């Protein structure tokens, strides 16, 4: 299985072991509760029944995935994240019945202050 990850208009093609076409691991972001991102190395893909006790993460920045070595691509909609886990300091993509699961989210806007005043509501 191949998956595409895009960061700042530069795309990376990753295989199921988490390696790009040069054989290197790259950093991918996970979405935090406050809307920020935390980056860590991408470890690859793991089946759902193997990761019951690991911390779940929301992986963002992935655009497409393919089951047949890049012949047919399945697009991941914008504002969707993939379910992953954190294992030994690396992020892994969780596969449910051989497929990644996407979930929609609304990106949080940064909190804006005007005239250094925060209004209480």
Provide the pLDDT for residue 27: 93
Q: What are phi and psi of 49, to 5 degrees?
A: -75, -10
Spell out a b/e string for 2-24, using b for 16 or more CB atoms within 10 Å of the CB, else e: bbbbeeeeeebebeeebbeeeee
CA atoms of 109 and 91, how far apart (whole Å): 25
Q: Where are the alpha helices (DSSP H) in the chain?
A: none
Provide the pLDDT for residue 106: 85
Provide the pLDDT for residue 74: 92
Answering whether pTM is above 0.75, one says yes
Give, for all 121 residues of the chain, the pLDDT tens digit: 889 888 877 888 888 888 988 999 999 999 888 788 899 999 999 999 988 889 899 999 899 999 888 889 999 998 899 999 999 999 999 999 989 999 998 877 766 666 666 667 6
**Contacts (Cβ under 8 Å, ≥6 apart) of 95:** 1, 45, 46, 47, 48
């Amino acid at each position: 299985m191949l998956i595409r990850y895009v960061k700042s208009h530069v795309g990376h093609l990753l295989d199921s072991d988490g390696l790009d076409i040069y054989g290197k691991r790259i950093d991918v972001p996970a979405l935090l509760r406050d809307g920020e991102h935390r980056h860590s190395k991408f470890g690859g893909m793991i089946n759902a029944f193997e990761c019951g006790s690991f911390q779940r993460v929301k992986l963002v920045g992935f655009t497409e995935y393919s089951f047949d070595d890049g012949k047919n691509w399945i697009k991941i909609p914008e504002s969707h994240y993939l379910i992953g886990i954190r294992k030994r300091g690396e992020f892994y993509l969780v596969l449910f019945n051989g497929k990644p699961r996407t979930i929609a989210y609304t990106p949080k806007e940064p909190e804006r202050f005007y005239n250094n005043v925060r209004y209480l509501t």
